Structure 1
Amino acid sequence: MLKPQRIGIDLGTANTIVFIDGQGIVYKEPSVVAKNIHTGEMLAVGKEAFEMLGRTPGSIVASRPMKEGVIADYETTVVMIKYFIKKASKYAIQKPYVMICVPSGITEVEKRAVIDAARSAGAKETFLIEEPFAAAIGAGLPVHAPTGSMVVDIGGGTTDVATISLGGIVDSRVSYAGGDRMDEAIIHQIRRDYSLTIGDRTAEIIKMTIGSADIDEASRYGSMEVRGRNMVSGLPKTVTIQAIDIARAIQSVIEDIITSIKQVLEETPPEISADVINHGIIVTGGGSLLRDLASVISKEVLVPVIIANDPLECVVLGTGESLKNIDVLKRSYRNEAR
């Protein structure tokens, strides 16, 4: 008898990555849905919808149904999950088992919303795994060993900080200081300094091109031309943005991330703290790719900081590894899965 397919989903604010047990990562697309606001018809999901961001007529809205790591628009999230499940299991006969990553600090109501959305989207049963734990597994940390590890997962909507030992999270914090907050800070800075309005996509490109977590080092990354709309005349305008201005713009977000790390370290038992000092802090997620981030964090918390291999995929890889234990989860957490 054929067993149901096992699918792991990193349901991120910015991107969704899908893992199939036995196949690995099969899809990675933006967490964006486009719909007609008059008819309610869903027009596009993922890459196709992302291309519409900021370019749609008045009757069409392209938006992200996830905000700060949790569901902001339930019906649209169901459509998005259904799209990814259907795409991943198009040749499957039975409904699949689905494991979805969630931030460590979400409420029971928010967890239930994710479970219900996945079941409405066609999952046979749905299981949840906390993002920092999944990230630690995906980064190759010894999560089940009697030794402490610390992981910082910087996503689009949230930064999840956790210490882990013996197969569980010892202490954790969730901050809303993620990549989206950095983009918002860049948009605000350019509006204020240059009277130029830019969109989210342009802000992200700026961050990726000349962004740095270190103001002192930012000047090394030069400048770039940015196109937007002049707030005074309403006409298109091109300005040259300096990297140091971008570093200053996102400093408050970097400081919030560092504050969360310090809070977790302060509440972590001494033995685990000693392990963290010995092994270092592992940073995952798209935000970890920001230039000079590791050195800035290390300087502030006085602990070695290491950017994980494949930081964008650590969470979904850890989820994929956890799919192997789904039979144990069914016995232990069946009441939560339902």
Structure 2
Amino acid sequence: MFFNSVDIGIDLGTANILVFIKGKGIVLNEPSVVAIDKDKNKILAVGEEARQMIGRTPGNIVAIRPLKEGVIANYTITQKMLEYVVNKVAGKSFFSKPRIMVCIPTGVTSVEKRAVLEATMQAGASKTYLIEEPLAAALGAGLDIAAAAGSMVVDIGGGTTDIAVLSLGGVVVDASLRIGGDAFDEAIIRHVKRIHNVLIGERTAEEIKINVATVHPEGRQVEQEVRGRDLVTGLPTTIKVTSEDGRKALRESVASLVASVRSVLEKCPPELSADIVDKGIYLTGGGALLDGISQVLKDETGIDTYVAEQPLDCVALGTGKALIDLNKLRPGSIVGNGSL
């Protein structure tokens, strides 16, 4: 009897885990969070259910984000999370195990690559392949990376920002920056603490980033009431946070991101630079939705900057496209433990 194996693409993100299945599209999008009962050493919840527990759990229950800055920080929990995800989307089968492609940031070490490969195999894959995030993001954004022409992608994820110039199915120049959505949230927490003397949580900071913050002087001008703990009295309090607060909080992080984009452009071969001027820079990842970020990059580089359609889904879609049509990728662009 013949059993068809399933092809699965996984965007193993610091903030969210997205899963693409060949023929079905994106079938799962959940936060990369696992809730554990420390006393019983047992996983209680994974994904959105676990995210709701962050900052709200009793002493014996802890909500963990097992990935930090795009790489595995807790191997055992990551493996359990992957196992949960694979079983949820593909089911358990003794006869047929899925072939899985997982995204990794550019510049990760060989040890970090092996950790991802092994965790995915332990989760139930028959074969595991790794693809760099900018390559997957470009494929997911619909760019023709197989052509002899330059394309530039800036993938702003939860833990890292990956910047790459692509041509002929491979990366020509790249940079990886340990700045992303998490760093933006931390910057907002620090700013509110310094200016308003109020301590807010991660989820509140994320709400400010999404609903209020801008990074461009001519961006949106809104305000929102948020709750936190007054550091003087120690009591709960409510304050107003404005878009200008967000811009000041994120100024340093955005300056680092812009500097890295300029650095990649400076290292780019002249012919590919000309292509990028014609085609523009494409932003993917959740950070691409940050108000004013595309305008800031355009102002600083002089190159038209576009936010890809469905920026949150681009990397996951790209892993699926890579599995379907591996011929588009330059040999060596994929790392794996099985023949393609």
The aligned residue for residue 266 of structure 2 is 266
Alignment of structure 1 residues 90-169 onto 2, 5 Å? 90=91, 92=93, 93-169=95-171
- Does the alignment pair 1:79 with 2:89? no
Q: Under a length normalisation based on structure 1, what TM-score does the superposition of the two structures give?
A: 0.95
Instruction: Give the C-alpha shift of residue 333 in structure 1.
Output: 9.0
Instruction: Give the C-alpha shift of residue 121 in structure 1.
Output: 0.9
Give the residue type in structure 1 aligned to 2:79. Answer: V
Instruction: Give the C-alpha shift of residue 217 in structure 1.
Output: 2.2
Instruction: Give the C-alpha shift of residue 39 in structure 1.
Output: 2.4
Segments of 5+ residues of structure 1 without an aligned counterpart are: none
Give the residue type in structure 1 aligned to 2:38. Answer: I
Distance in 1 separating the partners of 2:122 and 2:233: 48
Residue 208 (structure 1) aligned to one of 207, 210, 220:
210
Q: Percent identity?
A: 48
- SS class of match (2:77): helix
Q: Is the 2:169–2:328 contact (alpha carbons within 8 Å) kept by the matching residues of 1?
A: no
- Does the alignment pair 1:188 with 2:212? no
1:74-128 Cα distance to aligned partner (Å, 9 max, x none): 0000011001000011165511111000001111110000000001111111000
The aligned residue for residue 292 of structure 2 is 292
Change in CA separation of 1:279 and 1:77 when aligned onto 2, cut-off 3 Å: same
The aligned residue for residue 337 of structure 1 is 337
Give the residue type in structure 1 aligned to 2:112. Answer: E
Distance in 1 separating the partners of 2:45 and 2:168: 43
- SS class of match (1:78): helix
Change in CA separation of 1:238 and 1:324 when aligned onto 2, cut-off 3 Å: same
Give the residue type in structure 1 aligned to 2:63. Answer: A
Change in CA separation of 1:332 and 1:212 when aligned onto 2, cut-off 3 Å: closer
Distance in 1 separating the partners of 2:120 and 2:92: 19
Distance in 2 separating the partners of 1:177 and 1:327: 32
Between 268-277 and 234-243, the greater mean CA deviation after superposition: 234-243
Q: Which runs of 4+ in 1 moved over 4 A?
A: 326-329, 331-335
- SS class of match (2:218): helix
Instruction: Give the C-alpha shift of residue 38 in structure 1.
Output: 2.4
Give the residue type in structure 1 aligned to 2:57. Answer: T
- SS class of match (1:157): coil
Distance in 1 separating the partners of 2:159 and 2:122: 24
Change in CA separation of 1:297 and 1:334 when aligned onto 2, cut-off 3 Å: closer
- Does the alignment pair 1:278 with 2:278? yes
Change in CA separation of 1:332 and 1:225 when aligned onto 2, cut-off 3 Å: closer
Give the residue type in structure 2 aligned to 1:317. Answer: L
The aligned residue for residue 198 of structure 1 is 200
1:236-291 Cα distance to aligned partner (Å, 9 max, x none): 11011121011100011111111111111111100000000000000000000011
Change in CA separation of 1:122 and 1:260 when aligned onto 2, cut-off 3 Å: same
Change in CA separation of 1:328 and 1:295 when aligned onto 2, cut-off 3 Å: closer
Change in CA separation of 1:252 and 1:328 when aligned onto 2, cut-off 3 Å: closer
Q: Is the 2:82–2:120 contact (alpha carbons within 8 Å) kept by the matching residues of 1?
A: yes
Instruction: Give the C-alpha shift of residue 192 in structure 1.
Output: 1.2
Answer 1 or 2: which has greater helix percent.
Answer: 1
1:161-203 Cα distance to aligned partner (Å, 9 max, x none): 0000001000100001111101000001111111211111110
Segments of 5+ residues of structure 2 without an aligned counterpart are: none
Distance in 2 separating the partners of 1:15 and 1:288: 15
Q: Under a length normalisation based on structure 2, what TM-score does the superposition of the two structures give?
A: 0.95
Distance in 2 separating the partners of 1:26 and 1:321: 15
Distance in 1 separating the partners of 2:279 and 2:327: 32
